[in-house]
A and B are shown apart, each in its own frame.
Chain A
Amino acid sequence: MDLSITMTGFVALYVFMLAAFAGWVIIGHVPAILHTPLMSGSNFVHGIVVVGGLYALLNASTVQEQVIGFVAVLLGAGNAAGGFAVTQRMLAMFQTSAPTSAHAGAHAHARVHHLHKKR
């Protein structure tokens, strides 16, 4: 079983192109009300760089590489953990009107639906 991944030239460009397109489309559907959590959420997503840092650090064979790799993991972990913490906190704050009456509930639902549709 060959599990190695080799991406060169055009294959890499295709991956980049599709990912960029997906990002553009997905983010385009997020309503303006969520733009701050979205920005910190996408900030969290690029915290995946910590995985690259771990790879570099675990493969370090000199002190210099160990130091730089350590910094990479330290910063990457900060990016991921911090990004997650603030995003989760912010999103937990978004509450709809308490559905005390059927009318209010229906209104809130319609509003969510509206946000869904809105670009």
Chain B
Amino acid sequence: MLATLPPLIIGLADLTAAFLFLYGLQRMSSPATAPSGILVAGFGMVAAVLASFLYVFSVSAAAQPHLAVNVGLALIALVVGGGLAWLSGKRVAMTAMPQMVALYNGMGGGAAGAIAAVELFGAKTQGATQLLVTLLGALIGAVSLSGSLIAWAKLEGVIKKPLRIKGQQALNAMAMVAALSVGGLILFATLGGAPVLLATPIWIYVFFGLALLFGVLMTLPIGGADMPVVISIYNALTGLAVGLEGFVLQNPALMIAGMVVGAAGLLLTLLMAKAMNRSVANVVFTNFGDAPKQVQGAIKGSLRPVEASDAGIAMRYASKVIIVPGYGLAAAQAQQKLFEFVKLLQAAKVDVKFAVHPVAGRMPGQMDVLLAEAGVPYDMIFQLEDINDDFATADVALVIGANDVVNPAARTEKSSPIFGMPILNADKAKQVYVVKRGEGKGYAGIQNALFYGNNCNMVYGDAQAVLVKMIEAVRGLGAAAA
């Protein structure tokens, strides 16, 4: 009886963890219940980790003499790895969130790859299926590790420009084929019981090397604007790798958790790509910045700048204002100032709403998080499909740090690279104010007809400084009225 107790506890803990993960994710479907959702999932994780120490009662005879050392190593790894990541996670700025998620994701992929490596080097797998799945998980995990690290480096600004060389795609394909071939070679060598050309462990090193290389090569040419999709893809891939290694270890909790994340990541990837009006293949295999610059029909009209204070006062006397925030707002660290201004407007009985485009930010939904961080209640934040009809009845649309997501060319200009992308109908508002640093173009490098519209005025300057002026102007009014 005593011998069956540890596996019973491990089994129950893993089952509980799998259930709590699903339940926790399910609770994430509303902002009100989401905080408890992650907490619940966290309990599941702690239970599974604690229970896995009961493996000490069932280790193989070969590992028995090393048990004390191994337990010590496990504790150190947990404390160091978990501790460092915990601290960095608690400190990271919300604007830097995407690269942090990429980094943690890469770690997961690396862990899955490492588990596969232990299985492969120790020749622990049984039969062709297990070996094949181990190799597949190893490949995906390693690609996810190196790819996520490159994504991190790009978002962090360590790698500034997309690196593109001639014949990139052929090179990528070659790396992929080479990795698969070496994988096949390991498979045959192991099943045949005789090494092919080189000793099998050497091939395993080559296999991991090629997989890591492929992850690097695949991610390097992808531009910064496409990183949200890339992170989402690697999130799905890590989930898949974890699920596959779960099968190898015969651990259903890993299989379920990994596969749930794999499916979730796939769905998010597709949603992201749809919001950008591009296919996932288009994001990964073509380079957005490379699209030949369209010769655009000259846009009639001129840009009309106004003073920030005038724009602020106009909004104070409007009855309905919709704000379109873009990444430029976060880059200027002006979310707090924006909400301060919004509160002033609300105090003057102005109906204010935020309209968020799905690709605003560096990962899906990041703008929502940045607004939430500044204290904006989530019932003021509306997604594209919920608010687009409201613009027609809005007195003012205030566009801050956004550009391509409000470009009407996406609706009309067939030759435009962003044609077909769903956009926010800011141009339908009676009056549009665009806060911008200068006359530059957006990420996609295209002119924006909205700025030249008869109902549009430009407010030039740093978002933070512009908002300070707006706040002062509206406050000044209040004092005069009193």
Chain A neighbourhood of B232, CB < 8 A: 39
Q: Does B268 contact A (CB under 8 A)?
A: yes
* A residues 65-100 touching B (CB-CB < 8 Å): 65-66, 68-98
B62 touches A7 (CB 8 A): no
In angstroms, Cα B71 to Cα A61, docked, is 12
Chain A neighbourhood of B7, CB < 8 A: 3-4
Interface residues of A toward B: which range? 35 or more
Question: Shortest distance in angstroms between B350's beta carbon and chain A's nearest beta carbon?
Answer: 15
Q: What per-residue 1/0 map shows which CB atoms of B4-32 lie under 8 Å from chain A? A: 10011001001001000110111011111
From B29, B232, B373, name the one whose CB has the most chain A CB atoms within 10 angstroms.
Answer: B29
Interface residues of chain B: helix, strand, loop or mixed (majority): helix
In angstroms, Cα B101 to Cα A85, docked, is 11
Q: Does A6 contact B (CB under 8 A)?
A: yes
Interface residues of B toward A: which range? 35 or more
Chain B neighbourhood of A88, CB < 8 A: 35, 38-39, 42
B101 touches A78 (CB 8 A): no
In angstroms, Cα B238 to Cα A47, docked, is 10
Q: Does B189 contact A (CB under 8 A)?
A: no
A72 touches B115 (CB 8 A): yes
Chain A neighbourhood of B249, CB < 8 A: 52, 55-56
* Contact A53/B262 with A39-B232, A79-B108, A85-B85 known, Cβ cut-off 8 Å: no
A76 touches B81 (CB 8 A): yes
Chain B neighbourhood of A39, CB < 8 A: 101, 231-232, 235, 265, 268, 363-365
In angstroms, Cα B238 to Cα A52, docked, is 14
* B residues 401-452 touching A (CB-CB < 8 Å): none
Q: Does B70 contact A (CB under 8 A)?
A: yes
Chain B neighbourhood of A1, CB < 8 A: 4, 8
Contact of B82 among A21, A52, A80, A93 (CB under 8 A): A80
Q: What per-residue 1/0 map shows which CB atoms of B60-100 lie under 8 Å from chain A? A: 10110011011101101110111111101110101001001
B377 touches A97 (CB 8 A): yes
Chain B neighbourhood of A56, CB < 8 A: 114-115, 118-119, 249
* B residues 98-141 touching A (CB-CB < 8 Å): 100-101, 103-105, 107-108, 110-112, 114-115, 117-119, 121-122, 129
Chain B neighbourhood of A61, CB < 8 A: 60, 62-63, 66, 122
A111 touches B378 (CB 8 A): yes
B261 touches A60 (CB 8 A): no
A78 touches B63 (CB 8 A): no
Q: What per-residue 1/0 map shows which CB atoms of B236-260 lie under 8 Å from chain A? A: 0011001101110111111111111
* A residues 29-44 touching B (CB-CB < 8 Å): 29-44
Q: Which 5 A-B pairs have the closest CB atoms?
A: A85-B89, A35-B365, A82-B85, A23-B260, A23-B263
Given A23-B264, A39-B364, A42-B239, 19 new contacts (CB under 8 A): A22-B260, A23-B261, A27-B264, A34-B34, A43-B235, A48-B48, A58-B74, A69-B73, A73-B73, A75-B111, A80-B45, A84-B42, A85-B88, A88-B42, A92-B35, A94-B35, A96-B378, A111-B379, A116-B30
Residues of A within 8 A of B (CB): 1, 3-9, 12, 15-16, 19-24, 26-62, 64-66, 68-98, 107-108, 111-112, 115-116, 118
What are 28 contact pairs spanning A and B, CB under 8 A?
A: A3-B7, A19-B243, A23-B260, A29-B26, A31-B29, A45-B257, A49-B108, A49-B242, A53-B77, A54-B55, A55-B52, A55-B251, A57-B70, A58-B52, A58-B53, A58-B59, A61-B60, A65-B118, A65-B122, A68-B121, A71-B77, A77-B85, A79-B108, A80-B85, A81-B81, A95-B372, A107-B379, A115-B29
